[in-house]
Amino acid sequence: MGAGPAGAPVDFDPTRWRDYPNGPGFLTALADGRAPRAVWTALPGENWPARLAEAVAATLHSGRGVVVAVADARDLDRLDAALRECLGPDRHVALSAAVGPAERYRRFLAVRRGRVRAVIGTRAVVFAPAADLGLVAIWDDGDDLHAEPRAPYPHAREVLLTRAQLASAAVLVGGYARSAEAQQLLETGWARPIEAARDTLRRRAPAVHATSDDLRDQVAARLPTLAWRAARDALAAGAPVLVQVPRRGYLPAVACAQCRTPARCPHCRGPLSLSGSASTAVCRWCGRAAAGYACPVCGARRLRAAVVGARRTAEELGRAFAGVPVWTSGRDGVLATVPDEPGLAVATPGAEPVPDGAGYGAVLLLDTWALLTRADLRAGEEALRRWLAAAALARPGVAGGRVVVVADGGLSPVQALIRFDPGWLAARELAERRELGFPPAVRMASLTGTPDSVADLLAAAHLPDGVQPLGPVPAGDGQERMLLRTTRSGGAALASALREAAGVRSARKAPDPVRVQVDPLELL
């Protein structure tokens, strides 16, 4: 994309944010060159790329620059198209590895030289040198794709918030869900909420029903009666149906058909899986086939499903709804869209295709236990985030699409989904973490390495007062993990001490490295 006139006036329409009581005022403040800070909870079915484009246009109207980060290439393509429609050609650039190094560098130079003031991209875009920064925005900040997996492991949200503080720029943290970190911004008064009134939400939100996964209630293709009827009615009305399955593959985990013992590889003890109905069990770790597998407990040779993947679910749904096309979207191929016609879209979380028409007639959330029972501090928050992203694709209104979640309706994440109230769950999560002393209520550093290397780094570190060590605990492969906890105000001093200690070990050419992460995304 070429560079356009950075100083040319840009029009914007604040009334397009009228579903949010303080939304138009937020855009007006951007256009006036002020720096409001907000956490935006998008309505179900909201055209979020168009709303972000309006925020970008309002900022460009004031003559200042914009940086917007999204989680993946699909979101980037949608936002890119919305900005072209809202701003016209050559008013923004999208930094993406998909365009190739030469074109990406040309776009980077256009931003660096001030010829283009608006830049969008995935997590690396947070370092783009936008001139006279007026707004930083991030969509779906709870997505783990925003966390850089390479040292020093920055998170896109934290980098953008730091840049906004240094440049006195506006902030917009948006999503269908709300992370505990975003809730922290609201409770400290650093940011204000942008959310719809409850009566507006009731008009826009689809009906959500919870049902159990009791085997006695399953009609076909592992669907409880309520889910099967919702899918049948939506197909009969000429609408597509979305089925979210949290595991990819065919049968990603199998067990002995007689005694239910999980099937493990005889060579490396890794889990066995099946890639098709007539395939041989293969280890997911070492890739070896286990053609002559026999259960070490009872000696039986037959296997049964322990976990059902997306491809097996698609196969079962194809038999249950004969003559209806079945589309799959996941690791083997992600669909951007599906046609507005009767059909079943089976997708893993994050790969849900966007329907071309008004939305899905039904959204079925299966195997929810796989998300809710993860050994992860963020399990409930992550489950709700993925469910809301899928439910937001349903046809709006209680008379529109139906969402069926196969889970206990008394669980907190399920209650938040039924009410479309992610703020309630975020406040609850943050309160629990504050009581237990976990991020974001405190600052925490994770040190992972061999026992000797971790001890060496701690000996070289001049830790500030008030740092509480937790551990060490085994981390596998002969390594251990140590956690260091301190107050939020002491986070900078802790990070500085660990950086200096790592520098000392590097200068001494210490043989074993230590992985140092501040506020790690996952705390198992």
Count H helices, E strands: the chain? Answer: 15, 25
Evaluate the CA torsion angle 344, 331, 366, 40 in order and state its sign: negative
Does position 124 have pLDDT exceeding 50, yes or no? yes
Mean pLDDT, range 204-211, rounded to an integer = 95
What are 124's two structure tokens? 């690396």
Instruction: Choose one of 371, 403, 419: the last residue of a domain.
Output: 419
Rounded Cα distance, 307 and 288, in Å: 20
Mean pLDDT across 111-126: 96
CA neighbor of 436 nearest in space, from 470, 393, 475 = 470
Residue 524, in any domain of the structure: no
Phi and psi of 281, rounded to 5°?
-65, 135
pLDDT in tens, 412-421: 999 999 999 9
For residue 289, list its beta bridge partners.
Answer: 282
Sign of CA dihedral 420, 426, 428, 432: positive
Asked if residue 9 is part of any domain, the answer here is no
pTM for this entry = 0.88
pLDDT in tens, 71-103: 999 999 999 999 999 999 999 999 998 889 999
Residues 6+ apart with CB under 8 A from 483: 444, 445, 446, 447, 469, 470, 471, 523
pLDDT band at 1 (very low <50, low <70, confident <90, very high): very low
- Quote the pLDDT of residue 184: 97
Domain end position, chosen among 306, 331, 351: 306
Instruction: Indicate whether 189 and 211 sit together in one domain.
Output: no
Same domain, 88 and 164: yes
Cα-Cα-Cα-Cα dihedral sign, residues 68, 130, 154, 159: negative
* Res. 397 pLDDT band, cuts 50 70 90: confident
Report yes or no on 433 lying in a domain.
no
As a whole number of angstroms, the distance between CA 246 and CA 309 comes to 8
pLDDT for 306 beyond 60 = no
166: burial class by Cβ within 10 Å (0-12, 13-18, 19+)?
exposed
Asked if residue 341 belongs to a domain, the reply is yes
Q: What is the pLDDT of residues 262-302, one digit of tens each?
A: 788 887 777 777 766 667 888 877 788 888 888 888 888 87
Would the pLDDT of 308 be above 70?
no
Beta strand 303-307 with 253-256 is antiparallel
Of the ranges 123-127, 261-265, 309-313, which is most confident? 123-127
Q: Which residues contact 222 (CB under 8 A, 6 or more apart)?
A: 308, 313, 316, 366
Q: Say whether pLDDT at 342 is over 80.
A: yes
The pLDDT assigned to 373 comes to 75
Residues 340 and 412 in one domain: yes
Q: Check pLDDT > 70 for residue 193.
A: yes
User: Across the chain, what does the average pLDDT equal?
Assistant: 90
**CATH code (residue 129):** 3.40.50.300
Are 362 and 401 contacting, i.e. CB atoms less than 8 angstroms apart?
Answer: yes
- Indicate the pLDDT class of residue 2, thresholds 50, 70 and 90: very low
Pairwise CA distance, residues 521 & 124, whole Å: 17
Phi, psi of 354 (to 5 degrees): -85, 125
Where do we find the tokens 């907190």? 412
DSSP 238-266: T-EEEEE-SS-SSBSEEEETTT-PBPB-T
Which of 60-69, 364-373, 501-510 is least confident?
364-373
Question: Residues 370, 494: one domain?
Answer: no
Above 60 in pLDDT, residue 6?
no
256 pairs with which residues across the strands? Answer: 303
Indicate which CATH number applies to the domain containing 500. Answer: 3.30.70
Could you tell me if 65 and 10 are in contact, meaning their C-beta atoms sit under 8 angstroms apart? no
Q: Are residues 384 and 337 in the same domain?
A: yes
Count: domains in the chain: 4
Q: Decide which of 165, 200, 235 is a domain's last residue.
A: 200
Domain assignment of residue 431, yes or no: no
Going by the DSSP 8-state scheme, the letter that residue 289 receives in this structure is: B
Shared-domain flag, residues 145 and 29: yes
Question: Over the stretch 464-480, which tens digit does the pLDDT of each residue have?
Answer: 999 999 989 888 888 99
Q: Are residues 229 and 342 in the same domain?
A: yes
Residue 360: pLDDT over 80: yes
Q: What is the per-residue pLDDT across 443-454, written as a single tens digit (0 to 9) for each?
A: 999 999 999 999
Asked, for residue 448, whether it belongs to a domain, the answer is: yes
DSSP helix/strand/coil, 187? helix
Check pLDDT > 50 for residue 515.
yes
- Structure confidence at residue 154 as a pLDDT band (50, 70, 90): very high
133 versus 216: which is more confidently predicted? Answer: 133
**What does the pLDDT read at residue 220?**
67
What distance in Å separates the CA atoms of residue 275 and residue 22, rounded to the nearest whole number? 51
Same domain? For 235 and 268 the reply is no
CA distance 24 to 216: 51
Structure-model confidence comparison of residues 197 and 3, the more confident one = 197
The position carrying tokens 């970008």 is 56
Q: What is the arithmetic mean of pLDDT over 226-243? A: 95
Closest CA to 317 of 407, 383, 227: 227
Same domain, 124 and 266: no
Closest CA to 462 of 515, 504, 431: 504
Confidence tier at 303 by pLDDT (50, 70, 90): confident
DSSP letter assigned to residue 146: G
Range of the domain at 330: 206-249+309-419
First to last CA, the chain: 43
pLDDT of residue 385: 97
pLDDT (0 to 100) of residue 3: 38
Query: Does residue 60 sit within a domain?
Result: yes
Domain match, 216 and 328 both: yes
Q: Name the CA radius of gyration of the chain, rounded.
A: 25
The Cα 421–Cα 177 span in angstroms is 8
Query: Distance (Å, rounded) from C-alpha 154 to C-alpha 138?
Result: 14
Give the HSE-up count for residue 37: Cα atoms under 13 Å, Cβ half-sphere: 18
pLDDT(4) > 50: no
- How much is the pLDDT for 258? 72
**Whether 220 and 316 share a structural domain:** yes
Asked whether residue 314 carries a pLDDT value surpassing 70, the answer given is yes
| C-alpha separations of 473 from 32, 42, 258, 450, 524 in Å | 53, 40, 36, 11, 11
- Percent helix, strand, coil in the chain, to 5, is 35, 25, 40
Return the pLDDT at 74: 94
Tell me what pLDDT residue 249 has: 52
- Work out the average pLDDT over 313-333: 86
300 contact partners, CB below 8 Å, separation of at least 6: 256, 257, 258, 259, 294
Residue 490 placed within a domain = yes
118 and 185 within one domain: yes
Residue 278 pLDDT: 61
pLDDT over 70 percentage in the chain: 92
